[in-house]
Structure 1
Amino acid sequence: MFLFIFIFITYAVWMDNVSVEFFDPLRALSTEISEPVEDTFVAEKYPVSQPASHLSAKEWASFNKLLMQRFPVPKMISVSASSSKTIKGKKAIGELPANTQSDELNDSEKLTEKGFKTVSQQEYIKRLHELKDEIKRSWHSGDRVTSLKLSIKVARLLMDTCVAQFYPTLFVLATDIMDMLGDMVWERIKEKAEFADDGTKVCTLSDDFEANSICLEAKETCNNWFRKIASIHELLPRIYLELAIFPCWRFLRDDVTDNLMRLVMMIRGISDPLASAYCRFFLIHCAQKLPQRDTGHLVNCISDQKILLRQIISTKGTKFGNFLGDNKLLISLMEPTIEYTMRCIFKDPNKIADMIVRLELGKSPLELYGKVPWISIVLHYLLKVLPTEVVCSNALEILHLVDCSSDYTFDQCLNYKMVGLKLCEGIDQVNTVDAVIDEVIQAATKKKILDEYLKILDAYMDIILHYNMDRSLSSILSEIFERLCNEVVTEDELSTLQSIVVKLITHFDDMKYIFDLNYFVDILDVMHGSSRSIVCMHILTKATRNNHIDDPTTVKLLFDVAQSLHDNVDFSNTRSDDNQQAERLVARFVDKVDHGMELDRHLTFLVECRGAFSSMNDLKEILVHSSNLLATRALREKKNNLNFIKSCITFNEVTIPCIPSYARQLILYLETAEVSLFGGLISHADGILDSAVCCLQNVSLVDGLRKSNEDADGIVSLTRKLCSFMLLVPGNLEQGAMYIPKSILSLLDSQSWVTPKLRIRVLCSLLSLSATFAQNELPYHAIHEEVFGNDLLFHGDAIYSQELGSLSRVILHNMVDTIQQEPSQVTRGKLALEACNCIASFFKVNHEISSVCSKLMETAVSCLGGDDKYLQSTNNFVHKQSPLCVGGE
């Protein structure tokens, strides 16, 4: 062991003094590194920070998170035998010798078995987390060699690309461990530079410190770490470990460009394309930690990547690593590394011009080459990060570049799309718009696949519309329709077509102009499913922004659009936001339609809507309101066409029962009855009121005879409104003047959900109605001159007076009985006082009335006590009205 150390030190000294003619980038180290010095442990008390990173740690973590999510990992993973030993090997630190020397770092895990071993994904990931914890524990316990050895084991896992989809996840987990080791080494060396052995602080290193300010002991420790890593036999682990501590080169020299380029060349020695791509990925990440750096390594990395991709593209059936005949999978796995590299290349806006020249893209940002083919996947991510102004000023050249860069590494139509998106970002800066659009249309027309054709056009549609290029638009719509007629349209194609159509709808202000576009309606007819529904909603949204819709052709087209939307939405299921939005849009369309003075035509339109939109219950209410409005307009405009008004009322009588909510039915029945009286149609009003009473009877069928308090209050309020409305309606000579009030009274006894409190409210309304009918002149009448109130029809009629008296007595006795049924004593007392106030307000007190009031006051006293203020106030009021009443005394 000691002999090996002696030989190694002698070799290092020889390297310091001998000029080496042959440069081997796979084994080379800086000639300025001195011999290794044994690292000793110093307690880590003083936290220090890494150099500032140009790319934030948050951005790197976010990118890695997306990387792990991008490729699905199988539950079971086949790994090589050497990787299996690491994953299933020893876990206890105590089982590893603490005095392991540098020669032991060269003990590579040798394959003792042929083939692979299978482990679960969870086991693999769990073991990596355990290794990370073991490395951290070993480091803090002073066993740095064990930490390094375990880190080497982790780095060796990155040599295994057997399960390609798992490799990105493995890379993220393994490089997290590499970064942790690098942080710990950096902090240790910086601590030696800032503190003496006794813990005394010597100096404080700034973020931009220079190597000549570092003490000899810190440099010796740094040299020792690089020498340890240089002794690793396997190339890939050696590169990863040096990259992990690469920022530590700053303790030895100010310019580390040569060291970085050496590692770039060393990565060329990795034969597996996936492993080499991700190793470059990690190199670029580690280089971002340096405060000042040249971008040459980025250019070299992307150049090496392009060379490797060209080899993959040009070779068929050749095995690249573990990828035999599955080159597309290999390229998709390499894609994130290309994306990250391009992001770093154009991260500094001050170096964009220089990078464009160094990438051989052009002489300058304003003079690009358009005929030099690129690898399409590299070109895509170049276009993605290229500044918008560069793309806009060189649009034609870039389109030529895309045209001549066609290979299977990336879909060419997506590169056309990327250029289009960039041009849309700076839409006012686009040069030679006509030439650009002509070039795009030609490129799109060459695409035989409909999806590729539509994607290209979609990306440039905003430009065409922005510059009012009607000729190009007409040509595009014509070819789109022609292709749609000759092909079966897939969901992806429909989605892209939807985007194109929505852009058209959004751009123009007037739907009439949109409908007049050649082939627009034809294209819309070809669409189906959710894409058609979305387009229909956009059309209705645009159309209903105006005050009214009166053009007959537009109304017909919008009606078809609304019907299509209705037919594509399932209203039988639980109503979603989309369903509600669809119904609101259709309802708004119906409400906006205006046929002017052609009232018959508008009523016909409402009939068509009822049939076409039968599943939209809320719309039916709007149809009834619209029908009543039509009838009212006919009356106000002195168009006394009774047949038309009857048609409107008949329409309502058919439509209202189709609405599931009985409360809403009742509101609409009352509204329609009022319109009937306004038109002098008394018999129609009677029929509608009968329907309203039947509607109240059917309330008990809802929700299993149980109503919430809110629903019950609403029904009771509507019932009281019905009582108030009855003052307008002439009494029925055949069924009796009090036929409707009696029906309501009978209804109360049949409804189990009506509580005593609610019953008293209705009874008070009925009592008020009865008392008002007894007046010589009613407080209000129907507007129509042929509709007479009961005061004119039955004034002085003995039978009428007798019927009113009978109804009043029934109501009074019903009040007393209802109050006694209230279980709550306090509520029972208050109900008694409420009833007593109502009776005393509406009737002259005779012996019978006085007797009822006395009973109610006695009930109130027994429930509330004689000191209740409401009781005392009511008692005073009743005494003023009737000296005979002695309740409460």
Structure 2
Amino acid sequence: MSSKCLNSDNFSPESVNDTAKETCLNWFFKIASIRELIPRFYVEAAILKCNKFLSKTGISECLPRLTSMIRGIGDPLVAVYARAYLCRVGMEVAPQLKESLNKNFFDFLLTFKQIHGDTVQNQLVVQCVEIPLYLTLYSPAIDWILQCIAYHAPDCCGEDALLLNSVMSAFRAEFIAARSMDFIGMIKECDESGFPKHLLFRSLGLNLALADPPENDRLQILNEAWKVITKLKNPQDYVNCAEVWVEYTCRHFTKREVNTVLADVIKHMTPDRAFEDAYPQEKFLPFLDMFQKESVRVEVCKCIMESFIKHQQESTKDPVILNALLHICKTMHDSVNALTLEDEKRMLAALINGFIKMVSFGRDFEQQLSFYVEARSMFCNLEPVLVQLIHSVNQLAMETRRVMKGNHSRKTAAFVRACVAFCFITIPSLSNIFTRLNLYLHSGQVALANQCLSQADAFFKAAVSLVPEVPKMISIDGKMRPSDAFLLEFLCNFFSTLLVVPDHPEQGVLFLVRGLLNVIQDYTWEDNSDDKVRIYTNVLHLLSAMTQEAFIYHVDKVDSNDTLYGGDSKFLAEINKLSETVVSQILDHLKTLGKEETLKRQSQLALYFFNTILAHGDLRNNRLNQLSVNLWNLAQKHGFADTKTMVKTLEYIKRRSKQPEMSHFSDLALRLPLQSRT
């Protein structure tokens, strides 16, 4: 028969057949034959529910008998846990029968004097167990018995210290909190020779951490509790009790009371108290310094920073808060060494970055920059923090530009140059080369936006000079990956910026573009990579955009080359020369792909280059027109052409030919045959 049926309210012994009843009765007879009391008790209690097979009143008759059996157990500690188990079983099989629960509790009260008898006391002496420690062993069992009694029971309380502690542990926190002063009165009346009072106050404090006492009683409760706590000499007892009441103080009182409590903690926990008069009023940092073990102190600091980042809603500039949190962050930073795991470094950096983002001095930008300078000196071993500081300083420069609406005064111009200088001297200290490249580019863009042209050139030159140092393989999430794709992405972003960067009057036409092309030419590319050609085609996009009379975008209050040269023929001639050089490099690469195993790559690149010429070239030029036809034929020469793409491309050319001034596209379309794949 299933347990579900046995628990059903409709179950009755009449529904059990005689064979099952006989078997069940046989179990109980066999259990009754067990001579030892404790095994007989636990086995019968374990199958107490099976009495439902025999009669409706079986359980109600057995519970009092089993309760009486426990009186025969001589050891009071063993007996109280037997009572706790019987209460557990009773609540499971017959929760409505409260008589046995009460009987177990009052039987314990009757036998409680055994604890102070010679037999128990002699055993404790032999086993070197002190009475306070021994009494705490009773708490779990008594707690459970009282929880069973308290379930749907009227409010009640005992005055013995041990029982009072169990009552405070068993009853709801709201019940205890509402009667806090009553419990304090009972605690004060308890005999401290057995169960220590500080444990009673700790239990009371745990309840007050979960439920609030009446507002008018809160200060008196704290004063009464702390009178007892502050007299404790044992550091372990003091900390165990104080930690509970520190939370209560933080919840209900101001910084003054919290400061007083922390001062008392420091006083108790500092071995040498000769210099306690030198403590400042703020006790927070000395409190942290009490954690002598570095790993523990760092964990405490991490918890504080996590809480600050989670709960701080607004930015802060409070000098007391900043000083304290800088000290905490410095403690975390200084714990980093050669053995620190990367995950741990990332976690610490994220916490410090979260703090940095929460600091704001409003319109006092100079004070904000000073804070970032101080932070850089304090957190130099965590690269993510340095990266965050660079971004924050760049953001500060752009915020200055926004406030001044792009029209810098002498003072703000000097300030943004200071921001730019901060970034320029900080970036080289980073080890990740792509982080440096992107920060050089980003910081150069910020300098350009703030009309710091020479500083912007310095950033871009630094980026160009760094490209040759890019390794072939880089580590990403612990795995080595080719760097070509990342370099291609960076260079494409760089080209977009170079369009609006004006030439330096002393450096010649397109000096940054020329320098970058030289670096790309000398860079050693992977043999199976076509990224060099893709970069060159993006260079052609840039050079094509530079031939426009007016660029499609500009930086406010910065004159780009379209303004400086105004479509000058010499400038356009220089662009054409560079374009011819780049085209020559692309064609040379296509020739190297003439082997059988690289013909597919050759076809793809030829079509890619054809589309570049189609989008950016002047196809009225006969040489360029012929080059595009040759590339089209090369793309499908060896049967590797992407036919779908080529069909769509040809349709696009025919549509464009119908537009005004695009009639030359009609002639081009006639010269572009489509070969079917065989």
Q: Which of the five TM-score ranges fits, normalised by the shorter chain? A: 0.7 to 0.9
Separation in 2, partners of 1:606, 1:754: 45
The one-character-per-residue Cα deviations of 1:622-652 (angstroms, maximum 9, x if unpaired) are 3223333444426635223454343322221
Structure 2 length-normalised TM: 0.78
The question of 1:593 aligning with 2:593 is answered no
Q: Distance in 2 between matches of 1:765 and 1:221?
A: 90
Q: 2:145 aligns with which of 312, 317, 341?
A: 341
Indicate whether 1:445 and 2:211 are aligned. no
Could you say which residue in structure 1 is the equivalent of 2:630?
A: 855
Matches within 5 A, 1:861-876: 861-863=636-638, 868-872=643-647, 874=649
The residue aligned with 2:660 is none
Structure 2 residue aligned with 1:298: 101
Write the distance in 2 (CA, Å) between the matches of 1:859 and 1:744.
Answer: 29
| Equivalent of residue 771 in structure 1, options 531, 544, 558 | 544
The alpha-carbon distance between structure 1 residues 403 and 756, as it changes in their structure 2 partners (threshold 3 A), is same
Q: Is the 8 A contact 1:323 1:330 kept in 2?
A: no
| Cα distance in 2, alignment partners of residues 390 and 842 from structure 1 | 81
Q: 2:261 aligns to what?
A: 476
1:195 counterpart letter in structure 2: N
Structure 2 unaligned regions, length at least 5: 274-279, 292-296, 655-662
User: For residues 263 and 64 of structure 2, what CA distance do their matches in structure 1 show?
Assistant: 55
Matched, 1:647 2:421: no
Q: Does 1:730 align with 2:502?
A: yes
1:435-584 pair list within 5 angstroms: 435-461=220-246, 463-464=248-249, 467-468=252-253, 473=258, 475-486=260-271, 518-524=282-288, 526=290, 528-543=297-312, 545-546=313-314, 548-552=315-319, 554-568=321-335, 573-576=340-343, 580=346, 582-584=348-350
Per-residue deviation, residues 735-758 of structure 1 (Å, max 9, x unmatched): 542443333334444242596543
Change (3 A) 1:866 1:279: closer
Question: Superposition pairs for residues 687-702 of structure 1, below 5 Å?
Answer: 687-700=458-471, 702=473
- Equivalent positions of 1:178-257 (< 5 A) are 190=13, 194-195=16-17, 229-244=31-46, 246=48, 251=54, 254=57
- Report whether the alignment pairs 1:672 with 2:455: no
Q: Is the 8 A contact 2:174 2:212 kept in 1?
A: no
Aligned to 2:90: 287
- What do the CA deviations read for 1:471-503 (whole angstroms, capped 9, x no partner)? 755543442343344469xxxxxxxxxxxxxxx
The SS at the match of 2:606 is helix
Which of 162, 166, 169 is residue 384 of structure 1 equivalent to? 169
Note the 1:322-401 alignment, pairs <5 A. Answer: 324-326=127-129, 336-347=140-151, 349=152, 351-353=153-155, 356=156, 361=157, 372-374=159-161, 376=162, 378-401=163-186
Aligned counterpart, 1:660: 431
Alpha-carbon distance between aligned partners in 1 of 2:542 and 2:23, rounded to the nearest angstrom: 104
* Superposed displacement of residue 340, structure 1: 2.9
Offset of 1:856 from its aligned partner?
A: 1.0
Structure 2 CA distance for partners of 1:258 and 1:396, relative to 1, 3 Å: farther
Aligned equivalents of 2:194, 2:637: Cα separation in 1: 93
Q: What is residue 71 of structure 2 aligned with on the other side?
A: 268
> How far apart, in 1, do the equivalents of 2:371 and 2:42 lie?
76
Alpha carbons 1:606, 1:627 under 8 Å: kept: yes
In structure 1, runs of 5+ residues without a counterpart are 1-45, 55-186, 200-217, 363-371, 489-515
The alignment partner of 1:703 has SS state of strand
**CA distance in 1 between partners of 2:347 and 2:142 (Å):** 43
Cα distance in 2 between the residues matched to 1:704 and 1:442: 60
**In structure 1, C-alpha distance between the alignment counterparts of 2:319 and 2:258, rounded to whole Å:** 26
Q: Hey, what does 2:586 align to over in structure 1?
A: 815
In 2, the alpha carbon distance for the partners of 1:695 and 1:550 equals 38
The structural deviation recorded for 1:327 is 6.6
**Cα gap change, 1:269 to 1:824, in 2 (>3 Å):** same
CA distance 1:455–1:811, shift in 2 (3 Å): same
Q: Does 1:627 align with 2:393?
A: yes
CA contact (8 A) 2:449 2:556 kept: yes
Q: 1:830 aligns with which of 599, 604, 628?
A: 604
Structure 1 residues 536, 843: CA separation in 2 closer, same or farther (over 3 Å shift)? closer
> Which residue matches 1:138?
none
Shift of 1:725: 1.9
- The whole-number CA distance in structure 2 between the counterparts of 1:408 and 1:53 is 50
Distance 2:420 2:57 in 1: 93
Residue 305 of structure 1: how far off its partner (Å): 4.0
C-alpha contact 2:31 2:44 (8 A) present in aligned 1:
yes
Matched, 1:843 2:617: yes
Distance 1:852 1:573, change over 3 A: farther
Deviation at 1:265?
Answer: 3.4
1:22-68 Cα offsets, whole Å, 9 max, x none, are xxxxxxxxxxxxxxxxxxxxxxxx667686499xxxxxxxxxxxxxx
Report whether the alignment pairs 1:638 with 2:408: yes
Deviation at 1:398, TM superposition (A): 2.0
Select between 566-575 and 713-722 the one with higher mean Cα deviation: 566-575
Instruction: Write the distance in 2 (CA, Å) between the matches of 1:442 and 1:707.
Output: 63
Change (3 A) 1:725 1:333: same
1:65 maps to none
Residue 608 (structure 1) aligned to one of 374, 387, 391: 374
Residue 537 of structure 1 contacts residue 582 of structure 1 at CA under 8 Å; is this kept in 2? no
Partner residue in 2 for 1:75: none
Structure of larger gyration radius: 1
> 1:424–1:737: structure 2 CA closer, same or farther, 3 Å change rule?
same
2:512 counterpart (717, 721, 740):
740
Cα offset, 1:324, TM superposition = 3.8
Describe the shift of the 1:881–1:338 C-alpha distance in structure 2 as closer, same or farther (beyond 3 A).
Answer: same
Q: Distance in 1 between matches of 2:616 and 2:56?
A: 106
Structure 1 residue 684: deviation in Å?
A: 2.7
Partners of 2:420 and 2:150 lie apart in 1 by 72
Equivalent residue for 1:718, pick from 477, 485, 490:
490
Q: Kindly tell me: are residues 863 and 708 of structure 1, through their superposed partners in 2, closer, same or farther at Cα, counting changes over 3 Å?
A: farther
| Superposition RMSD in Å | 4.4
Equivalent residues of 1:392, 1:423 under 8 A apart = yes
Q: Is the 8 A contact 2:142 2:166 kept in 1?
A: yes
Listed one character per residue, the Cα deviations across residues 105-127 of structure 1 (whole Å, up to 9, x for unaligned) are xxxxxxxxxxxxxxxxxxxxxxx
What's the CA shift for 1:857? Answer: 1.4
Distance 1:701 1:379, change over 3 A: farther
CA contact (8 A) 1:53 1:288 kept: no
CA 1:303–1:600 in 2, change beyond 3 Å: closer, same or farther?
same
Contact kept, 8 Å, 2:549 with 2:566, in 1: the verdict is no
| CA deviation after TM superposition for structure 1 residue 268, in Å | 2.5
Q: 1:788 to 1:381 in 2, by over 3 A?
A: same
Matched with 2:534 is 761
Q: Is the 8 A contact 1:563 1:612 kept in 2?
A: yes
Secondary structure of the residue that 2:72 maps to in structure 1?
A: coil
Contact 2:394-2:420 within 8 A present in 1 as well: yes
Q: How much has 1:688 moved relative to structure 2?
A: 1.6
CA–CA distance in 2 between the matches of 1:826 and 1:299?
90
Q: Residues 689 and 291 of structure 1: is their aligned pair in 2 closer, same or farther, counting only changes over 3 Å?
A: closer
1:197-241 C-alpha deviation (Å, 9 max, x unpaired): 7x9xxxxxxxxxxxxxxxxxx6x9887766655554443344445
CA distance in 2, matches of 1:809, 1:569: 53
**1:792 & 1:411 partners in 2: Cα distance?**
88
Q: CA deviation at 1:766?
A: 1.0
